[in-house]
């Protein structure tokens, strides 16, 4: 069983050597690791050139992170594909555990495991809130940690690549797209990866843009946005634009913005949404 690990990269020189090492130290399967770099200028290229064992890499201007991942997928041939960002890490034994799971469950198309949020020094400071597979629950919250997920290449051949029009939620959109298509997911109750969370992190630093893109994605994919994501969006707007308001004022604003979001994306306000707002 051959694994293809794709790492998109751009100016993550302070982390990428740890990412490379976390892949190089894996056992239990044949592994090809490919880095698609977007033209880094921070020392990343020097690290890639000098890293031992040698890793395949390309550095050129691209159309963003998703484009880099898709190019990596198309340039590799492994039966199993993993996507590991240049600031994340695999834990020891991750690949071996995933290989064993796929071998024991030939009908499973996608397997994901448990993970941690890690700090700048690789210290785990909280569990990533993963959950066993439930498609309807996935619509309410993204409980799959992207670096802790692996999929068979046949899934991409049948369902296409990641959506390059998305900047923040391309992974979440893909998991939802696969679930909607009836792809078989499996959950591995073992920690596989560390997902780095810090102030300069792309997702953490752009909360409002992230939530708007998620809502737009749901509208396009399913025709409407789940109530939970409407409420989440309203919370982010209040936190970003009205952080100093009193609690009662924030509560009123939250209700108003949730109803506005529902009209904007779903063109109505459901009884269920009103019930959730009153809880």
pLDDT tens across 108-129, in order? Answer: 999 999 999 999 999 999 999 9
Percent of the chain past pLDDT 70, that is, above it, reads 97
For residue 237, name the pLDDT band (cuts at 50, 70, 90).
very high
- Average pLDDT, stretch 207-217? 96
Which residues make beta-bridge pairs with 151? 81, 110
What's 2-196's CATH class?
A: alpha beta
Task: List the chain domain ranges.
Answer: 2-196, 224-278
Residue 162 to residue 164: CA distance in whole angstroms: 6
For residue 203, name the pLDDT band (cuts at 50, 70, 90).
low
Cβ atoms within 10 Å, residue 108: 18
Asked if residue 3 lies in contact with residue 30, where contact means CB atoms within 8 angstroms, the answer is: yes
């Amino acid at each position: 069983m051959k694994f293809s690990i794709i790492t998109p990269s751009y100016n993550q020189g302070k982390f990428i050597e740890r990412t490379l090492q976390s892949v190089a130290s894996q056992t239990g399967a044949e592994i090809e690791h490919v880095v698609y770099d977007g033209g880094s200028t921070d020392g990343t290229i020097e690290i890639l050139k000098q890293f031992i064992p040698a890793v395949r890499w390309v550095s050129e201007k691209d159309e963003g992170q998703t484009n880099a991942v898709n190019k990596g997928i198309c340039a590799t041939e492994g039966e199993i594909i993993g996507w590991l960002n240049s600031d994340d890490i695999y834990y020891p034994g991750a690949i071996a555990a995933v290989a064993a799971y796929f071998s024991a469950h030939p009908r499973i198309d996608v397997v994901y495991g448990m993970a941690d949020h890690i700090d700048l020094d690789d210290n785990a400071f909280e569990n990533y809130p993963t959950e066993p597979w439930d498609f309807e629950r996935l619509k309410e919250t993204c409980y799959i940690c992207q670096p802790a997920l692996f999929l068979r290449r046949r899934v991409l051949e049948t369902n296409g690549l990641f959506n390059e029009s998305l900047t923040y939620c391309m992974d979440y959109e893909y998991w939802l797209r696969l679930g909607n298509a009836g792809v078989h997911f499996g959950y591995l109750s073992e920690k596989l990866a560390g997902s780095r969370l810090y102030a300069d992190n792309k997702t953490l630093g752009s909360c409002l843009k992230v939530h708007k893109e998620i809502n737009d994605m749901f509208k396009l994919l399913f025709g409407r946005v789940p109530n939970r994501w409407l409420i989440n969006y309203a919370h982010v707007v209040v936190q970003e634009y009205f952080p100093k308001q009193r609690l009662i004022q924030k509560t009123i604003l939250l209700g108003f913005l949730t109803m506005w979001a529902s009209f904007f994306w779903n063109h109505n306000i459901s009884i269920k949404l009103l019930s959730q707002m009153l809880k």
